[in-house]
C-alpha cells in the first residue's frame, strides 16, 4: 500500500471512529441503543488498533515522504525561476506592443519651418495680360456669360459671324485696331495655355514624387512593423513554452489544472501569437492566478509532508496509549460487570446491603477510570473515558437513592408471584429513566444467571412468609 492510499485509509478510519464515538454516547444514554454498547466498544478498540497499524506503516514510508519533500522543493524552485522568466517576457511583450516614442524627441525634425517647394506659375502673367487687354467683362469670367447649352450654341454662331466680319474687314483701316487686339489676345492665350500645360506637367511630376514617397513610407512601415511582430511572436512562443513546462511540473506533484482553464489559456496563447488578442488578459488574469495558486499548493503540500515526518513518530506513542487505555477501560468495565453478577448472586444479603456493595464496587471502578483519565491527554480517549465514568457516577446516584429508600422503609414481604415479577434488583430497573449504561438485565445477566437469582429470591421470600 503506497503512502497516498495509507493517508486515505487513515482519514476513513478517523471518520469511522468519530461515528462510533457518537454511537457510544447514545448507547450510554439511550435505552434503545444500549444493546449495541459492547459491540460499539469493540469497534472503537479496532479503530484505535488500526490507527496504530497504519501509523507504523506510514513511518516505514518516511523515505518516500522525504523524496516527495525533495521533489516539492525542487519543483518550487524551478517553478519560481520559470515564473520570474515569464514575468520578464511579459514585460518585454508589453514594452514592444504598448510603448511609444514621442515624436518631439527628434529635435532635428522642425515642422514649424517646412521645406519650401517652388510651384511654377509661368502662365499667370500671360493670362492676366489677356484679361487686361479684353476686359474681364468680355470674358467667361463675367456674370453675364451664358451657361446653358442653347446659349453656348448661339454664342458660337455669333463668334463665327464676327470672325467672318473681321476677316472681310481686314483691309478696312477702321478695324485695324480691333484686329490687332484680337490677334494679341490669341497670342496671349496660346502662350498662357502652353505655359499652363507646362506648369501642370511640373505639378504632376511633383505629385508623382509625393506618391512615390508615400508608397516608400508605407512599405518601410510595413517592414518595420513586421520586425516588431516577429520579436513579439518569438516572445509569445517562449511564454507558451514556459507555460507547458509549468503544467508538466504541476502535474508531476499532483496539481491538475482544470481542463476548461487549460484550454482557455492555450487558446489565448495561440491568439496572441497570431495577433488576435492582447497580453493584459494573459498576464494579469490567467498567469498571475495560476502562478499564485501553484506556489500556494506546493507550500501547503510541503508543510503537510514535513509535518508527517514529525507527527507520525510523535503520534505512534499516542495511538498506542489510546489503544491501551481504551482496552484498560473496557477491562475495568467488564470486571465491574462480572463483579456485579457475583454480588447479585449473593442471596443471603439484604437488598440494602447488596446495593451498598454494588455502589462500593462501582466507586472503585470510577476511581480506576479517574486515574486512567489523568494518564491521557488525547481528547478522543478522554471523551470516551469521561462518558463511561459519568455513566457509572449517575448509576451510583440512582443506587444511593434506592439504598436510602430500603433503609427507611419496612421490610418488604413478597409473594411468590411478586417475587418473580421483581426478581431483578431495583437499580437495574432504573434503566428505564436514565442510565446505568451496560447495567441492564440484557447485558449483565445471562438467562441462566437471571433464573438462578429469581429462584434464590423466591426461596428467601417463601422463608420469610413462613416465619411470619
The number of distinct structural domains making up the chain is: 2
Burial of 45 (0-12, 13-18, 19+ CB in 10 A): middle
Per-residue pLDDT, 273: 41
Lowest mean pLDDT among 95-99, 202-206, 330-334, 405-409: 405-409
Q: How many other CB atoms are found less than 10 A from the CB of residue 52?
A: 20
Residue 330 lies in a domain: no
Residues 361-382: what's their mean pLDDT? 91
State phi, psi for 386 to the nearest 5 degrees. Answer: -60, -40
Residue 48 lies in a domain: no
Q: Are 456 and 449 in contact (CB under 8 A)?
A: no
Output the CA–CA distances (angstroms, integers) from residue 183 to 131, 232, 315, in the order listed. Answer: 14, 73, 127
Residues 55-66: what's their mean pLDDT? 86
Lowest mean pLDDT among 71-75, 298-302, 389-393, 433-437: 433-437
In percent, the amount of the chain with pLDDT more than 70 equals 68
Q: Are 456 and 347 in contact (CB under 8 A)?
A: yes
Per-residue pLDDT, 113: 54
**Domain end (from 234, 263, 284):** 234
pLDDT over 70 (residue 243): yes
Residue 81 lies in a domain: no
Q: Are 394 and 436 in contact (CB under 8 A)?
A: yes
Residue 219 lies in a domain: yes
Element holding 91 (H helix, E strand):
helix 62-98
Which of the residue ranges 41-50, 118-127, 148-157, 347-356 has the most confident prediction, judged by mean pLDDT?
A: 41-50
Per-residue pLDDT, 108: 67
pLDDT over 90 (residue 109): no
pLDDT over 80 (residue 133): yes
Rounded to whole angstroms, the Cα distance separating 219 from 233 reads 21
What range does the domain containing 218 cover? 121-234
pLDDT over 80 (residue 265): no
Rounded to whole angstroms, the Cα distance separating 385 from 377 reads 12
**pLDDT band at residue 431 under the 50/70/90 scheme:** very low
Residue 147 lies in a domain: yes
* Mean pLDDT over each residue of the chain, to the nearest integer: 75
Q: Is 438 left (phi over 0), alpha (psi -120 to 50) or beta?
A: left
Residue 222 lies in a domain: yes
Q: Are 268 and 283 in contact (CB under 8 A)?
A: no
**Domain end (from 212, 234, 256):** 234
Q: Are 282 and 266 in contact (CB under 8 A)?
A: no
Q: What is the DSSP string of 295-314?
A: HHHHHHHHHHHHHHHHHHHH
Residues 142-153: what's their mean pLDDT? 54
Per-residue pLDDT, 389: 92
Residues 55-77: what's their mean pLDDT? 89
Residue 173 lies in a domain: yes
Per-residue pLDDT, 162: 52
Rounded to whole angstroms, the Cα distance separating 83 from 286 reads 13
Query: Which residue, among 449, 444, 395, has the nearest Cα to 38 in the 3D structure?
Result: 444
Radius of gyration of the chain (CA): 57
Lowest mean pLDDT among 83-92, 151-160, 169-178, 231-240: 151-160
**Domain end (from 234, 260, 288):** 234
Residue 129 lies in a domain: yes
**pLDDT band at residue 110 under the 50/70/90 scheme:** low
Amino acid at each position: 500500500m503506497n503512502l497516498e492510499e495509507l493517508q486515505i485509509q487513515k482519514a476513513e478510519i478517523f471518520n469511522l471512529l468519530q461515528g462510533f464515538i457518537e454511537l457510544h454516547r447514545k448507547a450510554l444514554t439511550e435505552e434503545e441503543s444500549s444493546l449495541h454498547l459492547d459491540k460499539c466498544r469493540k469497534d472503537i478498540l479496532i479503530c484505535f488498533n488500526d490507527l496504530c497499524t497504519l501509523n507504523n506503516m506510514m513511518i516505514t514510508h518516511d523515505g518516500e515522504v522525504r523524496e516527495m519533500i525533495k521533489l516539492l522543493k525542487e519543483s518550487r524552485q524551478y517553478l519560481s525561476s520559470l515564473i520570474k522568466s515569464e514575468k520578464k517576457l511579459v514585460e518585454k511583450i508589453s514594452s514592444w506592443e504598448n510603448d511609444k516614442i514621442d515624436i518631439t524627441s527628434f529635435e532635428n525634425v522642425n515642422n514649424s519651418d517646412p521645406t519650401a517647394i517652388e510651384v511654377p506659375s509661368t502662365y499667370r502673367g500671360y493670362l492676366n495680360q489677356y484679361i487686361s487687354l479684353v476686359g474681364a467683362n468680355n470674358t467667361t469670367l463675367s456674370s453675364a456669360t451664358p451657361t446653358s447649352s442653347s446659349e453656348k450654341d448661339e454664342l458660337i454662331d455669333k463668334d463665327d459671324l464676327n470672325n467672318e466680319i473681321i476677316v472681310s474687314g481686314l483691309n478696312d483701316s477702321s478695324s485695324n485696331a480691333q484686329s490687332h487686339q484680337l490677334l494679341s489676345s490669341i497670342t496671349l492665350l496660346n502662350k498662357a495655355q502652353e505655359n499652363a500645360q507646362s506648369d501642370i506637367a511640373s505639378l504632376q511630376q511633383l505629385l508623382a514624387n509625393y506618391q512615390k514617397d508615400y508608397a516608400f513610407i508605407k512599405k518601410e512601415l510595413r517592414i518595420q512593423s513586421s520586425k516588431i511582430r516577429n520579436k513579439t511572436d518569438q516572445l509569445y512562443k517562449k511564454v507558451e513554452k514556459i507555460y507547458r513546462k509549468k503544467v508538466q511540473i504541476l502535474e508531476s506533484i499532483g496539481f491538475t489544472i482544470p481542463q476548461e482553464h487549460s484550454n482557455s489559456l492555450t487558446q489565448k496563447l495561440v491568439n496572441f501569437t497570431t495577433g488576435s488578442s492582447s497580453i493584459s488578459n494573459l498576464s494579469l488574469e490567467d498567469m498571475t492566478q495560476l502562478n499564485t495558486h501553484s506556489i500556494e499548493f506546493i507550500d501547503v503540500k510541503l508543510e503537510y509532508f514535513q509535518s508527517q515526518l514529525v507527527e507520525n513518530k510523535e503520534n505512534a506513542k499516542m495511538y498506542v496509549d489510546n489503544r491501551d487505555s481504551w482496552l484498560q477501560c473496557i477491562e475495568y468495565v467488564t470486571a465491574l460487570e462480572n463483579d456485579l453478577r457475583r454480588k447479585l448472586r449473593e442471596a443471603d444479603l439484604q437488598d440494602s446491603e447488596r446495593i451498598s456493595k454494588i455502589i462500593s464496587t462501582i466507586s472503585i471502578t470510577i476511581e480506576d477510570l479517574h486515574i486512567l483519565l489523568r494518564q491521557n491527554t488525547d481528547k478522543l480517549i478522554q471523551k470516551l473515558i469521561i462518558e463511561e465514568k459519568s455513566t457509572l457516577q449517575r448509576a451510583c446516584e440512582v443506587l444511593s437513592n434506592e439504598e436510602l429508600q430500603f433503609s427507611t422503609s419496612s421490610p418488604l414481604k413478597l409473594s411468590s408471584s411478586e417475587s418473580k415479577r421483581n426478581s431483578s434488583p431495583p437499580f437495574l430497573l432504573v434503566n428505564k429513566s436514565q442510565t446505568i449504561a451496560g447495567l441492564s438485565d440484557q447485558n449483565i445477566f445471562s438467562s441462566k444467571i437471571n433464573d438462578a437469582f429469581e429462584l434464590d429470591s423466591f426461596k428467601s421470600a417463601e422463608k420469610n412468609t413462613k416465619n411470619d
